[in-house]
Amino acid sequence: MSIIYIDVKNDEDSIQIGDYRKQHLYYKIHSDVVAVYESNGALASAIKNGCTYQAEALFTFSGHGHFDYINDFGYTKIFDKDDNDLVSYLGDKIVHLHACFAGDSLGPQMVSQGCKAFFGYNDYFKAPHEDDPDYHLISYFMQPDETLVIELNNGVTAATAANMAIMEYENSIDAIDNSSQNGNYHVFIRENRDAFCHPNRDSKYGDKSATILMAV
């Protein structure tokens, strides 16, 4: 079992998500993290090297996403849809991109080049800003991805992990509906759920039976 853990924190938006993951997710999985790249250590060359040396890993990333690529700390592309060597980095991995849009084109391209399963978003990922009095509701926005990573780390299949994340989305929707007076948050949590990409949704997101236990 091994996890390649990346938080590209190069502006306020990405710092918020990256720091939240560090506080709430990282400590739950840290013993299985074999390579961690954060802030100015999250550079494309280092991350690619890490991928080359770690087989059968879960690659989990937070940072800004685009339809076709994800960037590193210095805004250099880490992976791009047009790269033809994605297999050499991701061929034996499950990829989770907690980032906007990358589920649209980059995710399916990773899968077509051999990535076992892909999880991500094909739209903006929305979350409360820390200036909002209801900022504590961010936990409901982050919980589905947190559950996903923890369950994949526990060795469940991509299909099971996806179902558990979707169940978390339904719980989060219920919680937001019942506790927030911000009408737009009621919509955001549903938009995030609807943008969530996973193998149960479409085979272009990979193999439902994929796990990261295979290397054990």
Among 37, 89, 169, 188, binds other proteins (CB under 8 A): 188
Interface characters, 131-150, with other proteins (x: CB under 8 A): xx-x----------------
In angstroms, rounded to a whole number, what is the distance separating the alpha carbons of residues 189 and 193?
6
In angstroms, rounded to a whole number, what is the distance separating the alpha carbons of residues 89 and 163?
27
Closest approach of other proteins to the CB of residue 183, in Å: 5
State the helix-helix crossing angle for 138-154 and 12-21, rounded to 10 degrees. 50
Among 12, 23, 27, 216, binds other proteins (CB under 8 A): 12
Of 89-97, 107-115, 175-183, 204-212, the window that binds other proteins (rule: CB under 8 A) is 175-183
Among 34, 55, 187, 214, binds other proteins (CB under 8 A): 187
Helix (H) or strand (E) holding 62: strand 58-62
Residue located via tokens 């685009």 = 66
Q: What is the DSSP letter of 92?
A: T
The residue among 16 and 54 lying less far from other proteins, judged by its C-beta, is 16
Among 10, 180, 192, 211, binds other proteins (CB under 8 A): 180
Size of the site for other proteins (CB under 8 A): 27
The residue among 14 and 109 lying less far from other proteins, judged by its C-beta, is 14
User: Which CA distances in Å does 84 have to 37, 125, 135, 139, 204?
Assistant: 24, 27, 41, 37, 17
Interface characters, 109-128, with other proteins (x: CB under 8 A): ---------------x-xxx
In angstroms, rounded to a whole number, what is the distance separating the alpha carbons of residues 210 and 212?
7
The residue among 2 and 71 lying less far from other proteins, judged by its C-beta, is 71
- 196 lines the binding site for other proteins (CB under 8 A): no
In angstroms, rounded to a whole number, what is the distance separating the alpha carbons of residues 116 and 66?
21
The residue among 85 and 132 lying less far from other proteins, judged by its C-beta, is 132
User: Which CA distances in Å does 180 have to 11, 137, 169?
Assistant: 27, 8, 16
Which tokens hold the place of 30? 């840290």
Closest approach of other proteins to the CB of residue 71, in Å: 12
Q: What one-letter code names the amino acid at 62? A: S
Residues at the contact surface with other proteins, assessed by CB under 8 A:
11-13, 16, 64, 100, 124, 126-129, 131-132, 134, 177-178, 180-188, 190-191
